[in-house]
Amino acid sequence: MDVGGTFTDLVAIVDGQVLTAKVPSTQIQSEGVFQAFARTELDPETIAVFTHGMTVATNALLEGKGAKTAFITTAGFRDILLIGRQNRPHLYDLRLQKPKPLVQRDHCLTLDERMGSEGVLRLLHSESLEALIATLQEWITQEEIESIAVGFLFSFRFPQHEQQVAKALRKAFPNLHLSLSSDITPEFREYERFSTTVVDAYLSPGLARYLGLLAEGCRTSGLPIPKIMQSSGGVTTIEQASQHGALALLSGPAGGVNGAHFVAQQSGFAHVLTFDMGGTSTDVSLILEGQPQASTEALVAGYPVRLPQIDIHTVSAGGGSIAWIDPGGALKVGPQSAGSLPGPVAYGRGGKQPTITDANVFLGYLEDGAMLGGSVRIDRSAAAAALEKLGESLGLSAERIAIGMRAIANAHMCAALRVMSIERGIDPRRLALLAFGGAGPMHACDLATALGIRTVLVPRAGGVLSALGLAVSPLREDYSCSVLKTLPEVGEVWVSLCENLAVRASHALAIHSFSADLRYRGQSFELAVPVTKEMPYSTLADAFHSLHNQRYGWSDPSQTIEVVQLRLAATEPLELPNLTVSKPTKQRVSMPRLAWFDAQFQSIQVWQGLALGEGDCIDGPALIELPEATVIIPPGWHSTVDLCGTLVIKMSRNHEDISTI
C-alpha cells in the first residue's frame, strides 16, 4: 500500500497476477489505506506480508509540523544548526533565505565535554549532566518538548559521551523520544550528522503516532502488521520505523524505483531511467547494470539528511501542478499543486485553477466522464472553462494554454531526466525510459523523443507501481563505520572492518552488500564504490578511477585514494514472483475518441490495456487505457505487449519529429 499526495494505491500479488485498487488519499492517511483494502475481495487471513509506504514523515518536514525538539551538543557549538554550510544553491540570489533550523536557538543546550580525533579531550562530568537535566525538566513542562536530539563532536568515532547522556535522559524522561547522532549516522562532517539527527528527532513522534494508529487498524481488520518502506529501498519493522522517522523520509519514491527495477528485470532491461509522475511531483532515478543507483545524502526541504537512500531527483511537476501567469505575463506551471483536495478542476472537488491533469483532460487524453479511484468523475467542460479563463489574460485559446502547459511541464521533467543521466556522465540514448505514476505514461514518449531515447516501458500496473515496489522489497538494515585512511593503510585491516560490520547484522539478513565512500585525498566529496571483503587493492582503485572519470570527466591514477566510510546493506533472501499476463477475456476492441495529435483534434483509437495479451501490437497515434493510467502512443511510435504485460513502446527508425504532440 502506497499513500501519495493525491491517491492511495494498493497492489496485491496473487500467483503472479497483479490485483490493484486506487482511492483518493485522505487527511488521516490510514483511513485511505483501509478504504483501498475495502475495494478488494481479498481475505485478510490469506495475506502473507503487508508492506506500506507513506508521506507522513515527508509532509511533516515540508510543512514544518514535526515535534517540538531540543538539541544537546558540545560546548561552543550551540549555533551549528543555524550556521550550517556556506554553500548557496543560487549564487547571485541576494534574497535567498536559508530554511529555519528545526530546533530554535533557545532549545539548544551544550555540555562541557569534548572528544577529539584520538579520544577524550575533556571528560563529561555528572554535575554538568545533572544541571542539563534540571533545565530540560523545566523546558518540557513549559515548552512541551516531545523529542531530544544529541550530537557531540567526534561521536561517530567515540560515542561514549553520547551514550552516557542517553542513559541519564532515558531514566529522567522515559516518555520522550531520543535520537543520538552516533546511532543515526555515525559519520564525520558534524553539520550533516547533527542535521540528520535533528530531522530524525523532529519526525519520529508524529510518525510513531501514525504507525500506532495504522497497527491498531490492522489488528481490527485482521491484516498483518505492516513492514514500513525505508528511503534505502528496503523495508523495516514498524517498531524500528517508529523509533527512527528519518528512515522513512523518502518512503514512497523508493518504492517506485523498486517497482521499476522489478518490472525492468522481468522484461529484460538492465539500463533504465525511471520516470514517476504523480499528482504532486515527478521523481526520476537511474538503474544501471540491473541495480538502482544509491546515495548517502539528500537535501529535503533544505535540510541535509545523511542516510542510505535510493538516488532520486525530484521536481515540482505533477498532474496537480497549477498553471498561473507571472507579473511579466509569462505562463508558468507549478510548483504549487492542487493535491488531492481540492484537486484539479476536472475532479469537481473544489479546484478553481487549471492543472496539468486539466490540460490532459481537455486535449482528450483522459476520457470525459471517466471514474478515478471509484469516487472522482472527470468533467471536461469544467477543465475547459478554467483553461479559457486563464487564457483570456494572454489572449490565447484554451487549446494553446493546454499545449503550453504540457510543454512547460515536459521541460521541467526533461531537465530532471538530464540531471540523472547526462549530468552523471550517462548517455540517455543507451537507456530505456520506464514511465509510471498516474500521469507518467501520458508524457513519456515526448520526453523520450527530446532525449533521443527510443524505448519506453509502461508496466501494466504503471499507475500503482510504487505500491508494487513495496510488495517486492526485502527487509533491510544498514550499517557503517568511519575509516578516514588511505587505501594502502586500509589494506591491512580491510577484512576485519567488513567482518565487524557483518557481525552487527541480523542473522536472518543473510545477503551482505558492501560499499566504500572513496575520494582523492584533498577532495571534499566522495563517490560510493561497490566492494567485497576479498577485493584486491588494485581492483578497488581501478573501480574508483573509472567511476570518477564517468562522473567528472577525468581521473588521476597517480593520486592517493582515501577511504572515508565503509557501508553494509544487509537484506533478506527474497523469492520474487514471476509476473504473467492472463489471457484476454474478451476480443480486442478499440473505441475512437477526439484527442490532440499533430496540432489538431482528430479521431484516435483508444484500446483497453487489460484486453491486450502478449504479442499484441498497437501503432500510434493511439491511446491505451490501463486501470490506473493512460498511455499516449504518438505518431511514429508503436507498442508491443511483452510476456509480463509491460507495454514496450519503440520509436520508428525513420521518425525524426521531436514535437509529436
Render pLDDT for 487-539 as a digit per residue (tens, 0 to 9). Answer: 888 877 888 999 999 999 988 898 999 999 999 998 988 999 999 988 887 88
Domain boundaries, the chain: 61-211, 476-571, 590-651
Which residues, including other chains, have CB under 8 Å from residue 25's CB and lie 6 or more apart? 3, 4, 5, 6, 7, 8, 32, 340
Predicted confidence band of residue 543 (pLDDT cuts 50, 70, 90): very high
pTM exceeds cut of 0.85: yes
What's the confidence (pLDDT) of residue 659? 41
Task: Reply yes or no on whether the pLDDT at 612 is more than 80.
Answer: yes
**Helix locations, 472-567, DSSP H:** 487-490, 494-504, 537-552
**Phi-psi label, residue 173: left if phi above 0, alpha if psi -120 to 50, beta otherwise:** beta
Give residue-wise pLDDT tens across range 238-294: 999 999 999 999 888 899 999 999 999 999 999 999 999 988 889 999 999 999 999
Helix crossing, 160-172 with 126-143: angle to 10°? Answer: 50
Question: Which tens digits make up the pLDDT trace of 434-476?
Answer: 999 889 999 999 999 999 999 999 999 888 899 999 999 999 9
CB-based contacts of 478, cutoff 8 Å, min separation 6: 232, 307, 308, 567, 568, 569, 570
Q: Is the predicted pLDDT of residue 660 greater than 50, yes or no? A: no
Tell how far CA 508 is from the center of its chain. Answer: 26
* 104 burial type by CB count under 10 A (0-12 exposed, 13-18 middle, 19+ buried): middle
Q: For residue 416, what pLDDT band results from cuts at 50, 70 and 90? A: very high
* pLDDT digit string, tens, across residues 341-397: 788 999 998 889 999 999 999 999 999 988 876 678 899 999 999 999 999 989 999
Grade residue 585 by pLDDT with cuts at 50, 70 and 90: low
| Res 590 pLDDT > 80 | no
Q: Note the pLDDT of residue 63.
A: 83
Pick the CATH number of 61-211 from 2.60.40, 3.20.20, 3.40.50, 3.30.1240: 3.40.50
β-bridge partners, 305: 298
Percent of the chain residues topping a pLDDT of 90:
67
The answer to whether residues 647 and 631 touch, using CB atoms and an 8 Å cutoff, is: yes
CATH class of the region 476-571: alpha beta
Q: Does the pLDDT at position 634 exceed 80?
A: yes
What per-residue confidence (pLDDT) applies to 661? 38
Nearest Cα neighbor of 343 from 294, 386, 311, 393 is 386
The helix or strand, by DSSP H or E, that contains position 597, with its residue range, turns out to be strand 590-597
Q: What is the residue-averaged pLDDT of the chain? A: 90
At 83-109, the pLDDT tens digits run 998 887 778 888 888 889 999 999 999
pLDDT tens for residues 26-46?
888 899 999 999 988 899 989
Helix (H, G, I), strand (E, B), or coil: what is residue 501? helix
What does the alpha-carbon distance between residue 637 and residue 11 come to, in Å, rounded to a whole number?
29
Q: What is the pLDDT of residue 587?
A: 57
The CB density around residue 68, as the number of other CB atoms within 10 Å, is 17
Q: What tens digit of pLDDT does each residue of 317-327 get?
A: 889 999 999 99
